């Protein structure tokens, strides 16, 4: 029970830090790229891929032409398209290679990563930097950590990055809804009828 509360507290504090540290320039560039794009393609690996798919669904709800890289019905990426690539490390081979192909084609690349100097970020036209996992505890022994008031992260692996990206992208949706003049009823009209 105590671990659950501490983990939720850690995640909430992380989200608040993202909100405090967001850069208006990155947000504006992100939204503008989406609005100017003919089509939007999203890619991410593992849980970042699930976050990318959730965002693709939201983009579809506001009426954007959106595809998920790797799905069988995804068409060819073209020069007037935008590729949104999500990778905490910015080094995931599949994501970096996809961005390289997109760059070669002439698509606009948006990277969401924790590392602004990563291979993915270097390929991107727009980089949104969102922090991920904090450093692993400096003191390995549990009892010593407790005595010194240091706690190991209870949010495993990429949890903080993925949750942060999900919340950030839902914030982007709010901006898109305003700019596109969409209301919740408009989104409901495009919501799946078969689930």
Catalytic-role residue among 162, 184, 185, 195: 162
Alpha-carbon distance values, 22 to 1, 90, 128, 155, 162 (Å): 32, 18, 9, 21, 16
Question: Is 162 in the active site?
Answer: yes
Q: What are phi and psi of 141, to 5 degrees?
A: -75, 125
The catalytic residues are 162
């Amino acid at each position: 029970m105590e671990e659950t509360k501490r983990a939720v507290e850690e995640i909430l504090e992380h989200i608040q830090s993202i909100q405090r540290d967001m850069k208006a320039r990155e947000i504006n560039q992100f939204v503008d790229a989406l609005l100017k794009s003919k089509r939007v393609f999203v890619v991410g690996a593992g849980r970042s891929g699930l976050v990318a798919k959730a965002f693709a669904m939201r983009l579809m709800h506001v009426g954007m032409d959106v595809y998920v890289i790797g799905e069988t019905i995804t068409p060819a990426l073209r020069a007037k398209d935008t590729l949104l690539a999500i990778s905490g490390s910015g080094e995931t081979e599949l994501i970096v290679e996809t961005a390289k192909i997109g760059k070669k084609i002439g698509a606009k690349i948006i990277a969401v990563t924790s590392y602004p100097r990563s291979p993915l970020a270097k390929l991107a036209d727009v980089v949104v930097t969102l922090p991920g996992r904090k450093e692993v505890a400096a003191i390995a022994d549990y009892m010593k950590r407790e005595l010194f008031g240091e706690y190991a992260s209870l949010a495993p692996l990429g949890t903080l990055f993925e949750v942060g990206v999900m919340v950030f992208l839902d914030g982007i949706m709010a901006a898109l809804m305003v700019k596109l003049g969409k209301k919740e009823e408009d989104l409901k009209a495009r919501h799946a009828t078969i689930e």
